[in-house]
Amino acid sequence: MVRLSWSGDREQQSSSKQEMPSSDLLHEAHENTRKINAALNVIESKPQDGTGRKKSLSIYTLEDGTKVSTKKRVVKSVPPVAKRLPTDEELFDADGLPNHEFLREHFRKEGRLSEEQAVRILEMATDILSREPNLLQVSAPITICGDLHGQYYDLLKLFEVGGDPKTTPYLFLGDYVDRGSFSFECLLYLYSLKINYPDHFWMLRGNHECKHLTSYFTFKTECLHKYNLRIYDLCCHSFNALPLAAVMNGQYFCVHGGISPELKTVEDVNRINRFREIPSRGLMCDLLWADPSETYDEDADDPSTLAYTPNIIRGCSFAFSYKASCEFLQRTGLLSIIRAHEAQDQGYRMYKNTKNLGFPSLLTLFSAPNYLDTYKNKAAVLKYSDNVMNIRQFNMSQHPYWLPNFMDVFTWSLPFVGEKVTEMLVSILNICTEEELEEETFVIREDLGATLKSKNTEQVVTVIPGSKKSKKKRSILDDDAKRRALRSKILAIAKVSRMYSVLREESDKVQYLKTMNSGVLPRGALSRGSEGLNEALSNFERARRADLENERLPPSLADVEKSREQYYRKKLEEFNEKEEK
């Protein structure tokens, strides 16, 4: 709104206005009204594309000048998302088994299932898994695979490298979910294969197949975003049915994590009650959480080395040494231990050979390439046939992009939009000084343009046709308390603008690291800014070290909430202290 600039304090301005003759006041009001209407007419009649024509909202011009239709796919090489739910006839064959080939392509297009279809597959898989022993006995030939972590498009590549699951036996070592954006697709596709080929498709439990970790990391959020709590609970119920270990070809002990001081013979595995949440200690915990020690190979010739030490990195279970592995293999008559659980730069790692057999005492497999879109590692699978080990590596496959924590674009962009809007508000308010904000502006209400419905709280003049009298409405600025309240609101807008700025900067960092943080990024990882981030993520080892915090057994959700509340309370206090200064 156009304002008149007056010098002097408010009392002088008010008295000057009151002393103005009514004809001068009326003239001023007419002049202000004319200017406002002229501005409104310009806004309404201004051509939006510079040619005098109305701008078409169905055509968008890119930065390079290319015009594209907003009604068609701009990047035609990206396949469209499957928009409809499949029918039961498409998803299940005549025998009631899931059509895994249809499901594979449906999930490739980011398709969804109905709730009842997902329930049906989960219940069928749980029933089959529940009838299997804790310790599987699997024969060669077979392909053994490590962690997947929700990387569905890399799982499809894995089957290209490892062989068609129709004819190729498979043993998966666990960790199908969490961290990646397609955990549900990985799980249900694997379950569909298990249902179709129960005698040559095997799945073990990993440490992430439990409620504790899936609630802390991404799988629960993914299930709630794509489906609902019922589906998540059924997934967790199916996790409890997964076997814990396998003996392959009577020679290799296959497990997700490692061995335990409580594991005297392989038959000890069958004595565990596996149909429960993973405990924080004991044999079941060790099978899924244990790691080889950091100095596994170096301490091989040191007789004073302890067989088991507390696993500091994981915060639970043990770190087992070369000595522990050799004692276990000698005691059980097995050749080697094959496990997963740890990311590897080349997708696998062979540890020091045993002295009596000259074969690697331990082998780690990891089948999620470019883990978290950050590690830049290769993935590997082990194909074992005719007493020959063949390790095949593969690289990452392109996959659809998801915002962190499955946010939609509106939630993601709110800090950006909010920051810009508040910046504009502050800029508008800063056009006028505090004294100018207290000045009155006079207009003729009846003559204002139809597009303007004035809600001005300042003093205005309303001219009644045929009358020379003017009526004055009370201004909000006539009241000192209200004037102070308005000033407080202006300052609050400025504060909100700064807060949105902080949110936007944090969103930038979260996007850069993507799922690596999983909501619990180690503090200090961002302290050096973008240069520090680039350096920290430049190679596998640095990325692994930055992510070690997320490899630990997480605290309970109650502890997490308490810690988060304390953290934000501290940040709020620091923010308020800066504002007061």
Catalytic sites, residue numbers: 208
Residue 256: HSE in the Cβ half-sphere, 13 Å Cα cutoff = 27
The rounded distance, in Å, linking the Cα atoms of 560 and 554 is 9
Rounded CA-CA distance 552/542 in Å is: 17
CB 543 within 8 A of CB 514: no
Q: 168 — phi, psi (to 5°)?
A: -105, 120
Q: Which DSSP string corresponds to 279-326?
A: PSSSHHHHHHH-EE-TTTTGGGG-TT--SEEE-TTTTSSEEE-HHHHH
Give me the helices (H) in 442-479, please. none
- Residues with Cβ within 8 Å of 296's Cβ and at least 6 positions away in sequence, in order, are 321, 322, 351, 352, 362
Please give the structure tokens belonging to residue 516: 């690596």
Q: Please give the Cα distance from 76 to 166 (Å, whole number).
A: 33
Q: CA 148 → CA 179, 214, 346, distances in Å?
A: 10, 14, 15
Distant-in-sequence, close-in-space partners of 63: CB < 8 Å, separation ≥ 6: none
Cα gap 336→364, rounded to integer Å: 11
Residue 448 carries which DSSP code?
Answer: S
Classify strands 245-248 and 470-472 as parallel, antiparallel or unpaired.
unpaired
